[in-house]
């Protein structure tokens, strides 16, 4: 058991450092072309901080662990929304300054509802699963989302920020080392978490919704807190919303293409919380004159999810 815990910690370290190196390298490439902060938050940073989920889910999907795949994505999205935005909003109230971010939050809500329908097979009368066809639909939606973002980038004015460019060797070294850390770390986390769950009789769902979801979301947490401390709301919220969109459209699409994901309807409760939390965020951000997530609203997000997590764990014990 002790060895498994140590290896999980080592795995998470590999995921966090790997994601950071990947983001640094990818951001170095992006900065050469003067891509704005929000776009970097919604794409490069969101991809880098979602990379742990991608690797963990790919490994879990190869092993046919559908509950881990679903719990990691839904749990990570809830963690991003309630915990990360809650903490970031307590550090500094988050103001939506860019018109682009206003559109991405409703997009996040729409794709969550669509995924809920696909998983429960409301559209086709079949067994509940996220099939390879569903994966193709999600992947095409992801490509459309990227096209939309880069189209928006061309229409918005960008402030050119002085930047010391990294050499190509350093950039690609960071990217390659980052990917290596993610792959090794992801394998360690999945294998040893499953071993612990088996030893203690804890379900894969709870392990995925709590330990794995929180661990793979640490890069988003660190990124958004740093952004909040620097009063950069666009990066803070762009990272969270972008990661949630990436988790559904990219990570679940790849996971389902590797292996169709059997959907357990016990996840409907977690879906409902994710949808409700996103609606709460829209109401909080888009009502009133200030267009911001105030500290008391951030506290509601944080407190609710902490209580819900305690409920999940105590119900399992």
Query: In CATH, what number is assigned to the domain containing residue 54?
Result: 1.20.1420.30
- Angle 214-219-221 from CA coordinates, rounded to 5°: 65
The continuous run of DSSP H or E covering 272 comes out as helix 268-286
First-to-last alpha carbon distance for the chain, in angstroms, is 18
- In terms of DSSP bridges, do strands 292-293 and 94-95 run parallel, antiparallel, or are they unpaired? antiparallel
E strands, 239-303, are 261-262, 292-293
pLDDT confidence of residue 273: 95
Give a yes or no: residue 162 inside a domain: no
Collect all residues with Cβ–Cβ distance below 8 Å to 80 and sequence separation of at least 6.
Answer: 217, 220, 240, 243, 244
Distance CA 256, CA 192 (A): 23
Q: Record the tokens describing residue 82, joined without a space.
A: 């309630």
pLDDT confidence of residue 37: 56
- In terms of DSSP bridges, do strands 129-130 and 261-262 run parallel, antiparallel, or are they unpaired? antiparallel
CB-side neighbour CA atoms (13 Å) of 136: 3
Nearest 10 degrees: CA dihedral of 37, 39, 45, 51? 180
Distance CA 233, CA 218 (A): 18
Give a yes or no: residue 207 inside a domain: yes
Give a yes or no: residue 190 inside a domain: yes
Give a yes or no: residue 205 inside a domain: yes
Give a yes or no: residue 64 inside a domain: yes
pLDDT confidence of residue 116: 92
Task: Write the pLDDT tens digit of every residue in 114-159.
Answer: 999 988 877 655 567 898 999 999 999 999 988 887 777 666 555 5
Picking from 1, 81, 55, 10, the residue whose alpha carbon sits closest to that of residue 270 is 81
Low-confidence ranges of the chain (pLDDT < 70): 23, 26-27, 29-46, 48-49, 97-101, 123-127, 153-166, 288-290, 316-317
pTM of the model: 0.79
Give a yes or no: residue 261 inside a domain: yes
Number of domains in the chain: 1
Give a yes or no: residue 43 inside a domain: yes
pLDDT confidence of residue 45: 65
Give a yes or no: residue 161 inside a domain: no
Distance CA 63, CA 75 (A): 19
Per the structure, the complete domain to which residue 33 belongs is given by 2-156+167-316
Phi and psi for 166 in degrees, rounded to 5? Answer: -80, 155
Distance CA 246, CA 139 (A): 10
């Amino acid at each position: 058991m002790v060895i498994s815990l140590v290896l999980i910690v080592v795995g998470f370290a590999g995921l966090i450092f790997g994601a950071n190196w990947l983001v640094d390298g990818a951001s170095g490439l992006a900065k050469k072309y003067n891509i704005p902060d929000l776009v970097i938050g919604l794409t490069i940073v969101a991809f880098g901080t979602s990379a742990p989920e991608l690797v963990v889910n790919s490994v879990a999907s190869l092993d046919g662990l559908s509950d881990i795949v679903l719990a990691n994505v839904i749990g990570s999205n809830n963690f991003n929304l309630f915990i990360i935005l809650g903490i970031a909003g307590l550090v500094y109230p988050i103001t939506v300054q860019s018109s682009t971010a206003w559109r991405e939050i409703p997009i996040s809500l729409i794709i969550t509802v669509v995924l809920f329908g696909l998983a429960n097979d409301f559209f086709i009368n079949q067994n509940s699963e996220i099939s390879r066809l569903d994966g193709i639909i999600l992947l095409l939606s992801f490509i459309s989302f990227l096209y939309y973002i880069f189209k928006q980038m061309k229409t918005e004015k960008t402030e050119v920020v002085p930047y010391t460019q990294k050499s190509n060797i350093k950039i690609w070294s960071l990217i390659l080392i980052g990917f290596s850390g993610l792959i090794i770390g992801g394998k360690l986390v999945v294998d040893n978490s499953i071993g612990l769950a088996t030893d203690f009789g804890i379900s894969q769902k709870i392990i995925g919704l709590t330990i794995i979801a929180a661990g793979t979301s640490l890069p988003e947490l660190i990124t958004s807190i740093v952004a909040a401390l620097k009063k950069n709301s666009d990066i803070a919220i762009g990272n969270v919303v972008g990661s949630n969109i990436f988790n559904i459209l990219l990570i679940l699409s790849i996971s389902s293409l590797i292996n169709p994901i059997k959907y357990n309807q016990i996840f409907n409760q977690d879906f409902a919380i994710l949808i409700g939390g996103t609606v709460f965020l829209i109401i909080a951000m888009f009502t009133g004159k200030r267009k911001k997530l105030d500290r008391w609203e951030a506290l509601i997000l944080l407190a609710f999810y902490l209580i819900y997590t305690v409920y999940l764990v105590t119900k399992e014990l």
